[in-house]
Amino acid sequence: MSGKRLRSRIWGLAVVIAVFAFLPATAGATQIASVFNTGLEGWTVSGDAASGSPYWVSTGGNPGGYMQAVDAATGADLLWNAPAKFLGNQGAYYGGKLRFDREVTSVNYIPAYDVTLTGAGTSVHFALATQPATTWTRHTITLLASKTSPPTTEANFRAVLGNLTGLQIEAEYVNGNETDSLDNVVMTTPVPAAPKFTSTAAAKFKVGTAGTFLVKTTGFPTPALSIDETLPAGLTFTDNGDGTGTLGGTPGAGTAGIYDLTVVAANSVGTTTQAFTLTINQLPTFTSATSTTFSRSGPNSFLVTTTGGFPTPVLTETKTLPAGVSFVDNGDGTGTLSGMPTAVAGKYALAFKAANAAGSKSQSFSLNVVN
């Protein structure tokens, strides 16, 4: 094979690789990209830039061409500024990704923010999970309000993206002279996806006590959440508008029990349901008398009773019983104190405890032993 034909095939393969490298990673996504294989593509720098920056380098990128900027070390931050194709109404990119490759000469300074998006009269900021390195390093941020630093509201971030007037990437990581290299800046829309539940399918509440449970989902567009069934008195469900929903409130009297619910998450891609178990526990209440008399001369029995407890409470006696007397939990919210005392006659201070998943209650009890 001639050298000319070999070079032709290698060039063709390189073009194919370059094209496929920057196609949307998943079907359904669209993107804006600067890969710097032919020039700066309209990118500029601001702040502490040396004369002539930025400049384009044809080889040595990740891969292919890339751009560099030199820090003039005059004190201000050095910032990369995105061109017009990244700006304007980019509301469709909420929930998507912004990624870029970067290489720096060294790192001895950590800026407050690594990426800033400006629009609608305000700015949102991102701090990267990993810092730049002296070799090419890929950085990815998720374009969600909850990922900003500090977190902003979804409405505010959507307003910024809907009228995006600036996208800046930090280039200042050294107190002094440095060279910052940037390659492969790609902003990708989220891939439409049916809702998926990520929170557990069960929650427990307690009668008379305020509580909350957060239902969580993924999916794009953001799913709307609801519960099909009527909730027990005192509880409500609120769709938070961000793919989560809050089940909360104070369960009212008489609501103790187990409820089988259906949580629904829906968006334009599809609807997903989750079989959800809501358990409302309730403390028991003692309903039997607080004293009784046992005779040393004959068999004796006293039934300790409770009501309202859910689940059924376990009953115990927590103090030392007189000789000849025992206590048994009957497993149905009652317990039996019985026996023929052999201890000396007199009054004995006892205590019963009824415990379940809601907690426990105690009852002071007086046992009078007579001859």
pLDDT at 15 over 80: no
pLDDT of residue 27: 58
pLDDT of residue 250: 98
Q: What mean pLDDT do residues 102-118 have?
A: 92
Q: What mean pLDDT do residues 106-115 have?
A: 89
pLDDT-derived band of residue 9, with 50, 70 and 90 as boundaries? very low
Helix (H) or strand (E) holding 279: strand 271-281
Q: What are the phi and psi torsion angles at 275 (to 5°)?
A: -70, 120
Question: Which CATH superfamily does the domain covering 193-281 fall into?
Answer: Immunoglobulins (2.60.40.10)
Specify the CATH number for 3-188; select among 1.10.357.10, 2.60.40.10, 2.60.120.1060, 2.60.120.260. 2.60.120.260
pLDDT of residue 12: 39
Q: What mean pLDDT do residues 114-139 have?
A: 95
CATH 2.60.40.10 in the chain is located at 193-281, 285-370
Annotation: CATH topology of 285-370: Immunoglobulin-like (2.60.40)
pLDDT in tens, 263-306: 999 999 999 999 999 999 999 999 999 999 999 998 999 999 99
pLDDT at 51 over 60: yes
pLDDT at 221 over 90: no
Neighbours of 353 (CB within 10 A): 17
